[in-house]
């Protein structure tokens, strides 16, 4: 431990541990080295992650057991991936946040009272797959909803 002075100093080892808020057994702890088998598995995981970054723990486990013939469980694969700092790519939350650079158009009917027919019209283009629809509505009642053959955006 770097914060600790094991040599003769103004404070004893017990006092230094107390000041740092650690147990004295922490001084003597040496982490176990990574086994060669784990290093080999980590190399396979790294190779597969480079090819398929969207593979998670379960798919990596299937890859190791079926394709590579390793006998390894999902919990150990999870531990190795965490040790390597690898996480599968997947959509995160809040992906639908608006881009601050995009213009926000004002609502033009705010404060306008609709009192007669044909006073307010709206067009709502909808794109579903390869089909383009246009809905034309008039004062809260849809007049039509039809597919458009070609839509130029």
pTM over 0.85: no
Domains of the chain, residue spans = 1-30, 35-92, 116-153
Q: What is the pLDDT of residues 78-114, one digit of tens each?
A: 999 999 999 998 877 776 788 889 888 888 888 888 8
User: Of 117 and 35, which is predicted with more confidence?
Assistant: 35
DSSP per position, 70-103: ----HHHHHHHHHHHT-------S-TTPPPTTS-
Residue pLDDT, tens place only, 32-67: 899 999 999 999 999 999 999 999 999 999 999 999
């Amino acid at each position: 431990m770097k914060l600790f002075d094991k040599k003769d100093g103004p404070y004893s080892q017990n006092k230094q541990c107390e000041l740092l808020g650690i147990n004295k057994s922490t001084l003597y702890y040496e982490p176990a080295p990574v086994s060669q088998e784990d290093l080999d598995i980590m190399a396979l995981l790294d190779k597969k992650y480079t090819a398929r970054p969207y593979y998670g723990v379960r798919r990596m486990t299937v890859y190791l057991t079926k394709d590579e013939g390793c006998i390894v469980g999902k919990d150990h694969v999870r531990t190795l991936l965490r040790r390597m700092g690898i996480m599968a790519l997947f959509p995160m939350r809040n992906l639908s946040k608006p881009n601050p650079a995009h213009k926000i158009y004002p609502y033009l009917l705010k404060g306008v009272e609709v009192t007669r027919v044909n006073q307010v019209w709206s067009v709502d283009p909808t794109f579903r797959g390869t089909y383009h629809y246009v809905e034309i509505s008039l004062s809260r009642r849809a007049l039509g909803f039809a597919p458009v053959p070609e839509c130029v955006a």
